[in-house]
Chain A
Amino acid sequence: MALGIGCSSRPGKAPNNKTGSWRVFKPKFNHEKCTKCGMCKTICPEGCIEESEDEFFIPNESYCKGCGLCAEECPSDAITMEQEEK
């Protein structure tokens, strides 16, 4: 593959870096408590929280770093952090 001129690159390659492997804790979403407010998706620094077809929110495990911010900020306490099973 040819190098991008002057160290340039087209978008699309960052997702090759699967930051999910950094995780020690993992957010667990309790859909019963969730009010679908969308806060978790807004504030996740990874931008890795997806809205599923039934409008619930789920983290993309390939990228979630397990920082715990979503769990801390969820107004309904619908997210808990659990030890990652490796």
Chain B
Amino acid sequence: MADRIGDPTVVADNVHLTYRVHGASSGKGSATSAFSRLVTRKKAAGVTEVHAVRGVSFVARRGEAIGLIGRNGSGKSTLLRCIAGLLPPTGGKIYTDGQPSLLGVNAAMMNDLTGERNIVLGCLAMGMTKQQVAEHYDEIAAFSGMDNYNGKDFTRLPMRTYSSGMAARLRFSIAAAKSHDVLMIDEALATGDRDFQLRSEARIRELRKEAGTVFLVSHGMKSIRDTCERVIWLDAGKIKMDGPTEEVVAAYEKGV
């Protein structure tokens, strides 16, 4: 593998993101009102702008696990969605190596399907071959713990019957089955219990050894300390501090 520890995987160059919020347009209604909205092209009253990310620049490298901390609404999730390519930055550029994967808070994927189907479909969607799926299936089911949860095989039940922590476990297990160049975890592990947090932290360390980059958003400073050696502190859309975990977390905890 030519990819080496230390090569950049994500380069953010003065990234800005502004949300444009269109009043109270609910997008529901009768055919006639929908039609008149289309014809008149009228935007529902009042456009408000939310400047969520304001000029963020950093370089992330292979083998790094970077913690992202900051108050609610400081722009952490928004920044990750920009990196994942789900939101186009309104200013600046983001360069990535390969396709970053984002694990968000809402952990469900295909709610009406069983855990088993979610595993198979999730792996196929990530680009695995049928054979690779067969190889990884038991590992994923076992890692998530869904194959024997309180003595019941939950892989046979639809995902809508899972608790939020169980859904998060399954989704992390699916995503982690593949090695990623860039994996971003946005509070997806927060609902997991102690046992699963330990297991997922071990998996994150493995991913780093495979020369990937991991971003972790969490309000739990313990899991940040346990997994990351570098932390970026976002405040009101700007980087307030970027450095070794101990320094940044200490400053953050003093400031809060």
Q: Do A and B bind each other?
A: no
* Residues on A facing B (Cβ under 8 Å): none
